[in-house]
Amino acid sequence: MLKKALLLFAVALISLSSFAKGKKDITVVFYNVENLFDTINNPDKRDNDFTPMGKLQWDTKRYNDKISKLSYVLSSIDKEELPALVGLCEIENRDVLEDLIDQEKLKKGKYRIAHSESPDKRGIDCALIYQKSRFRYIKQESINIEFPWEKEYKTRDILYVQGLVGRKDTLNIFVNHWPSRRGGQEKSEKNRVFVAKQLRKAVDKIQAKNPFAKIIIMGDFNDEPTDKAVAETLKAGNNRDSDNPMELFNLMYDMKVNGEGTYNFRGSWNMLDNLIVSNSLLNGSRGYQTLHNAGRIYRDKWICFKNKKGILTPNKTYGGTKYYGGFSDHFPVYFKLKR
């Protein structure tokens, strides 16, 4: 009887081990795809440049080439599998997203789309594409931004999406594209601080109901991890010793301090693309978790341009009105959630 019991116990352990190995990690990506416009003029948006007759001569050939290249990038980030969750910014509408997920490299992911039209006058939005089999969509909302001091200035909404991963892990995801540094970083900073306040309110609302809520904040913030809007207003830092589940941690903070970046401006690296998680995803005891050093920049040589100094920078689609035919002026960022 003892031998039989031990045998059954061993079989159970093997089965449990196999089940654990079968649980897939979840790769989470954010990518500013640099003006992914269709070729059709929308009279309600300032998209004239991105038409065949516009000054950028944005035609079907160039559009299809960019869509194809973006699909190659997204399918190459994780060598083992397609990312389960991809936040995107600088996309014009749902149509371009449909074209993207229909590319051969992404088709097997059977992606679904979370997106809403934002009031940005150029017509660019934020979106989330997700594998339906790995992220069970619950709901989405848009956080509209209205600046009290400049009513006419319309920027991108923050996209909030909630869904389930694994058996019962609820993820609260915010996809961002904060106002640009138009007019200079200092002059424009108050705009990003204001957006950070709206995002912080949304986070506080979730955490007031559940201090252990699992939150992912991703996006092009047009600010770096050490800048005021991110570090002070949003309160996303790099406190590795905190045991407060509600604290926010920026996975890109240390890389910024080490001089790395996702966007190269006049020879200087900027870490504008941020990945931020609630501490409950770092120090929790159940479900999906990640590590403090999990943040990564995807910058394989084939998506880069080598400048005169031999430095590899993002190979962009346009430089001003000059067509380079690259991928994007930003590198994608990503991390993994593990069980």
Mean pLDDT (whole number) for 300-320? 95
Residue 27 contacts residue 77 (beta carbons within 8 Å)? yes
pTM to 2 decimal places: 0.92
> Across the chain, what does the average pLDDT equal?
92
Does position 284 have pLDDT exceeding 80, yes or no?
no
* Least confident piece of the model among 134-143, 205-214, 236-245: 236-245
The residue among 94, 99, 90, 98 whose CA lies nearest residue 68 is 99
DSSP for residue 166: T
Please classify residue 260 by burial: count the beta carbons closer than 10 Å to its beta carbon, then call 0-12 exposed, 13-18 middle and 19+ buried: middle
Residue 232, by phi and psi: left (phi above 0), alpha (psi -120 to 50) or beta? alpha
The structure tokens 């969750």 sit at: 85
Q: What was the pLDDT predicted at 247?
A: 95
Does position 336 have pLDDT exceeding 90, yes or no?
yes
Does position 3 have pLDDT exceeding 60, yes or no?
no
pLDDT tier, 18 (very low <50, low <70, confident <90, very high otherwise): very low
Q: Which helix (H) or strand (E) holds 197?
A: helix 185-209
Work out whether the CA dihedral 180, 303, 291, 32 comes out positive or negative.
Answer: positive
Residue type, position 87, single letter: G
Q: What was the pLDDT predicted at 10?
A: 42
Does position 5 have pLDDT exceeding 70, yes or no?
no
Mean pLDDT (whole number) for 98-115? 98
Does position 16 have pLDDT exceeding 60, yes or no?
no
pLDDT tier, 17 (very low <50, low <70, confident <90, very high otherwise): very low
What is the set of domains in the chain, with CATH numbers?
A: 25-337 (3.60.10.10)
3-state helix, strand, coil in the chain (%, to 5): 25, 30, 45
Q: What was the pLDDT predicted at 103?
A: 98
pLDDT exceeding 70 applies to what percent of the chain? 93
Q: Which helix (H) or strand (E) holds 22?
A: helix 2-22
Q: What was the pLDDT predicted at 45?
A: 94
Torsion of CA 29, 254, 176, 26, to 10 degrees: 30
For the chain, what's the residue count?
A: 339
pLDDT tier, 39 (very low <50, low <70, confident <90, very high otherwise): very high
pLDDT tier, 172 (very low <50, low <70, confident <90, very high otherwise): very high
pLDDT in tens, 112-156: 999 999 999 999 999 999 999 999 999 999 999 999 998 889 999
- Provide DSSP, 63-83: HHHHHHHHHHHHHHSSSSS--
